[in-house]
Amino acid sequence: MKDITIAIEGSTYAGSVAILRGSDVACERSLRADDGSSNRTARGRGERLMPALAECIAEANVSRDDVARVVCGAGPGSFTSLRVAGSVAKGLATGYRADLYAVNSLLLTVAGLIQEERAHSPLRLANQKPKLAPGPHLSLLDAMRGEFFGLRVVVEADGTLKPIGRTGVLTREDIADLRDRKTVLHCIGPGQEIDASPHARGVGVLLESILEQGPVDLASWEPDYGRLAEAQVRWEAAHGRPLTT
């Protein structure tokens, strides 16, 4: 029976991969931005992503016939990192003849924390991240230009997640206003009050809702970059017109 999910997340430089059996994480790897490599190019990330996947597939003893689906973090986030992760996900889905699914990367930040909490329950170490209280939290990722991609996410008492509204671009003032009005309990994200990055392991928490949404079209799907690439912004500013594809 096919019950393996290959999960890939690449919305930040700290990408990740995971292998899941059902909703349980069988193996995971984190590709940290500070792993000793100064190479932040697409090639550098791709070179680290594929060995991490190969290690997980071998460690979990996954065969070609086991893979039911590939799930990719859909962004928003780093343009180049998302393109690398999306390309790898499409290649895997094609090679394994599996469906490709997409999930919002801001949800994977919160879901990754919940999955980590489950893995260490009931025993918790003193230096672990704090347990997320039920209620609304604000998941954030750097959007550059002094702004952030943001999504409010409700953590239910049973550990399930529900997004509130849609992903938006927020200024620091917007975030401060949300905190002042006490409409969110915590800000979650790289360098935030609860410091965490999107993680592929979070697919285990979200798998039911991911499957309900159905697979994406393998040929036409692309990640949600959230905004235009910086190179395109500079080109359009220099030429005074939109860049056509």
Domain boundaries, the chain: 4-106+198-239, 126-195
Name residue 19's beta-bridge partners. 6, 27
Average pLDDT, rounded, for the chain: 87
Name residue 66's beta-bridge partners. none
Instruction: Check whether 37 has a pLDDT greater than 70.
Output: no
- 126-195 and 4-106+198-239 share a CATH fold: yes
Give the pairing of strands 161-171 and 147-155. antiparallel
State pLDDT tens for residues 51-87.
999 999 999 999 999 999 999 999 999 988 999 999 9
Among the listed residues 34, 127, 243, 3, the one whose alpha carbon sits nearest the alpha carbon of residue 15: 34
State pLDDT tens for residues 108-132.
999 999 999 888 765 555 555 556 8
For residues 125 and 131, give the distance between their C-alpha atoms in angstroms, rounded to a whole number: 11
For residues 181 and 192, give the distance between their C-alpha atoms in angstroms, rounded to a whole number: 18
State pLDDT tens for residues 93-111.
999 999 999 999 999 999 9
pTM listed for this prediction: 0.87
* CATH number, span 126-195: 3.30.420
Q: What is the mean pLDDT of residues 30-43?
A: 55
111 in Cβ contact with 206 (< 8 Å): yes
* CATH number, span 4-106+198-239: 3.30.420.40
Query: In the block, which residue shows the tokens 């529900």?
Result: 162
pLDDT of residue 145: 84
For the ranges 26-40, 145-159, 199-213, 220-234, the lowest mean pLDDT is seen at 26-40
DSSP state of 183: -
Q: How far is CA 152 from CA 59, 102, 167, 169, in A?
A: 35, 19, 8, 12
170 in Cβ contact with 148 (< 8 Å): yes
